[in-house]
Structure 1
Amino acid sequence: MKSRREAIKGIIAGSAAVSTSGMLSSFTPMKENSRSALKGNINHSVCRWCFPDIPLDKLCEEAKRMGLKGIDLVGPKDWPILKKYGLTSSMCNGAEINLVDGWNNKANHAVLIKNYSEMIERVAKAGYKNLICFSGNRRGMDDETGLVNCTEGLKQILPIAEKNKVILVMELLNSKVNHKDYMCDKSIWGVELCKRLGSENFKLLYDIYHMQIDEGDVIRTIKANSQYYGHYHTAGVPGRHEIDETQELYYPAIMKAIVATGFKGHVAQEFIPLNPDKLASLQKAILICDV
């Protein structure tokens, strides 16, 4: 007769096997030429900068084969390449000064207003919708002053964005590990800015990697503030690498929460691959997120 300890060990082993097999099924690589296997609930895209060693033409070709809809963070000079492959520029850039000098400092407003006024029209003319922006670093500035300054500056270009049907999207970045002193580092601050601006043409880029580091509580936060999020980025925590079983976030559940909010925008992979076969990692990430 089995002892109680042996019986419990058997139950635990069996449960672990079931749990592991269930988890690994979510991380099964996508088969070659399996675009039709995608469910269509997520508009997948990928950030260009994470694959610098792969020529853009090659990345677009592979992205198209995998069923992606767009490429993030591609400037105007490369838009013709995306169009050649039928891909959208899912998050346009090129109007910002940089990540640290942003809308929270009035000294930057003149340059930013000029840059964004011109770029909004270029984005619209190209048939795209999203244009990224940044709060900038604090440099000793308190939250309220930053909110007042961002509101004052952004209100000067929002009428242009509204007229051209372009959405300005401010990215939430962590200030703990990667972007020390960045102001828009938590949802509560970004959401308050959205409320003060009061425009459907200003949203937040909820970067899941960054927000796991700075605030956690990812799924509840997404559900509570979904109307203010216009775009999502992924990456594994810790390290910003593959989103597979080597890291702490369970992306299938996060993606299901995003879909449940009715989100129709793009979810872009923004991890830095450790796997020498970087495209295989991208393909695997797409399947993990395709709920």
Structure 2
Amino acid sequence: MSDTFDRRSALKGILAGTVTLGISSGFTSVLNSLEEESKLASNILKGRINHSVARWCFNDFDIETLCLEAKKIGITGIDLVGPKDWPVLKKHNLISTMCNGAELNLVDGFNDTKFHEQLIKNYTEMIPLVAKAGYKNLICFSGNRREKTDEEGWNNCVLGFQKLIPIAEKHNVVLVMELLNSKINHKDYQCDKTNWGVELVKRINSENFKLLYDIYHMQIDEGDVIRTINENYKYIAHYHTGGVPGRNEIDETQELNYSAIMKAIADTGFSGYVGQEFIPKQKDKIASLKKAIAICDI
């Protein structure tokens, strides 16, 4: 009999005893947390959510270490990894769930035609590399508004993507524009509301262009997360997490109910990835990541 099974059986017995003896719900909560840890230690996840983690949030670890720790938890992909580190991911049978490396930065994007020449060159070169590696998603950004109207931003983006969508379709790669808040973190970013991004997806009109719905960012700029997901899920290729406020742990220290949000995502039939993109405040960063996965493993 395995140690994991013994621990689970013991915990269940103790939990049953707390009901009989009327021991406080606080103790029960601690035991539930231990059960979550036990499940993660045995790599037993429910499978309704495909889990990934953003590379940049765990830069304290080299890519090899992050891959090893991710595998232990049951994470199957790493977000925001470029070609240089793809061989390490492949070594550990992980995938690059949101590729990057073609973008200029977050502020100079497709909504401004003066950046199109370089962007189109970058993405034309990167799309085949993503496909050759066996990956699917490649991130992109609108760029800052710089006094452009919504219409100007949409029109400029369409002009740029019209030259890339045939390449993306040929290679079965999805260009994924991230929604970022313009209130706190990314002042003046144009694709800062779900309806702006959805309108762009409709105008481009290709299954190879979709949105990255960052739950942290959209809670800040518009809220109403679950209803927004239910109404717009067909335009979304990927999700990111993050505690509000602060973009730290997604636990009880912040305002979002991530278990409910994950249930809503799963109920739409979503088969892509949810990437943990929070910045750990706790000293044990991997413990924070384990807890985030447990919260999201509905």
Same fold (TM over 0.5): yes
Are 2:161 and 1:154 aligned?
A: yes
Q: Does residue 1:103 correspond to 2:103, yes or no?
A: no
Over 3 Å counting, the alpha-carbon distance change for 1:200 and 1:224 in structure 2 is same
Contact 2:40 2:294 in 1 (8 A): no
Are residues 24 and 163 of structure 1, via their aligned partners in 2, closer, same or farther at CA, if it must alter by over 3 Å? Answer: farther
Matches within 5 A, 1:226-265: 226-265=233-272
Q: Which residue of 1 aligns with 2:17?
A: none
Q: 1:36 deviation in Å?
A: 3.7
Q: Compute the displacement of 1:22 (Å).
A: 7.0
**Structure 1 71/254 Cα, relative in aligned 2: closer, same or farther at 3 Å?**
same
Partner of 2:46 in structure 1? 39
Query: In 2, distance between residues paired with 1:134 and 1:257?
Result: 26
Aligned CA distance change for structure 1 residues 135 and 69 (closer, same or farther; 3 Å): same
CA distance in 1, matches of 2:229, 2:196: 14
Name the structure 2 match of 1:137: 144
The higher relative CO (CA closer than 8 Å, separation ≥ 6) is in: 1
**Residue 107 of structure 2: SS of its match in structure 1?**
coil
Which residue is 1:85 aligned to?
92
Match of 1:52 in 2: 59
In 2, the alpha carbon distance for the partners of 1:276 and 1:29 equals 20
Identity %: 66
Amino acid corresponding to residue 171 of structure 2 in structure 1: N
Contact 1:113 1:153 in 2 (8 A): yes
1:86 CA drift (Å): 0.3
When residues 228 and 38 of structure 1 are mapped into structure 2, their CA distance, relative to the original with a 3 A threshold, is same
Give the secondary structure class of the aligned counterpart of 2:240. Answer: strand
SS in 2 for 1:30: helix
For residues 213 and 133 of structure 1, do their structure 2 counterparts lie closer, same or farther at Cα, with a shift above 3 Å needed? same
Using the TM superposition, give the Cα deviation of residue 209 of structure 1 relative to its aligned residue in structure 2, in angstroms: 0.1
Aligned counterpart, 2:192: 185
Query: Which residue is equivalent to 2:279?
Result: 272
Contact 1:173–1:211 (CA under 8 A) maintained in structure 2: yes
What is the aligned partner in structure 1 of residue 79 from structure 2? 72
- Partner SS, residue 48 of structure 2: coil
Q: Report the 3-state secondary structure (helix = DSSP H, G, I; strand = E; otherwise coil) of the residue aligned with 2:37.
A: coil
* Contact map agreement 2:241 2:277 (CA 8 A) in 1: yes
Are the structure 2 counterparts of residues 253 and 95 from structure 1 closer, same or farther at C-alpha, using a change threshold of 3 Å?
same
Letter in 1 for 2:140: C
1:237/1:82 CA distance change after superposition, 3 Å: same
TM-score by length of 2: 0.89
SS in 2 for 1:268: strand
Distance 1:243 1:76, change over 3 A: same
Please tell me whether the aligned partners of residues 27 and 244 of structure 1 are also in contact (alpha carbons under 8 angstroms): no
Q: Count the aligned residue pairs.
A: 275
**Would the alpha carbon gap of residues 101 and 24 (structure 1) be closer, same or farther in structure 2, given more than 3 Å must change?**
farther
SS at 1:137 equivalent: coil
Query: What is the correspondence of 1:20-31 to structure 2 with a 5 Å cutoff?
Result: 25=32, 29-31=36-38
